[in-house]
Amino acid sequence: MTTAALKKKIMALVDKETSEKKLELVHKALTTETKAEAIRSRMNEMARASDKSIKAGRGLSLGEFERNGKQALEQIAASRSKAKNAASRKPIARKS
């Protein structure tokens, strides 16, 4: 079925319909943004905001990003306790 024929059929059905509830459902179905459309819209907004930030000079060079990442990993590693060798652990009594 072509788009024009489908539109014609839908319009005829809408013209015949008298139930306000059904007409409201059709209206909602045609005007409500789908999840995919919402995601695409949000991604476009984020991309535009990112472009503005980059043009305004807010951002990191690759070198700055690598330095910051390395420092963050070093801080995480420093905050963790050192692992003990198996020989330095107390033996655990186990039932055999």
Which range of residues forms the domain containing residue 42? 20-76
Whether residue 58 lies inside any domain: the answer is yes
Whether residue 13 lies inside any domain: the answer is no
**How many domains does the chain divide into?**
1
Whether residue 67 lies inside any domain: the answer is yes
Whether residue 35 lies inside any domain: the answer is yes
Whether residue 68 lies inside any domain: the answer is yes
Q: How far apart are the first and last CA of the chain?
A: 75
pLDDT digits (tens, 9 = 90+) for 77-94: 888 877 666 666 676 777
Whether residue 34 lies inside any domain: the answer is yes
17 Cβ neighbours under 8 A, 6+ residues apart: 23, 26
pLDDT digits (tens, 9 = 90+) for 33-84: 899 999 999 999 999 999 999 899 888 889 999 999 999 999 998 888 776 6
33 Cβ neighbours under 8 A, 6+ residues apart: 41
Whether residue 72 lies inside any domain: the answer is yes
CA distance 70 to 63: 11
Whether residue 84 lies inside any domain: the answer is no
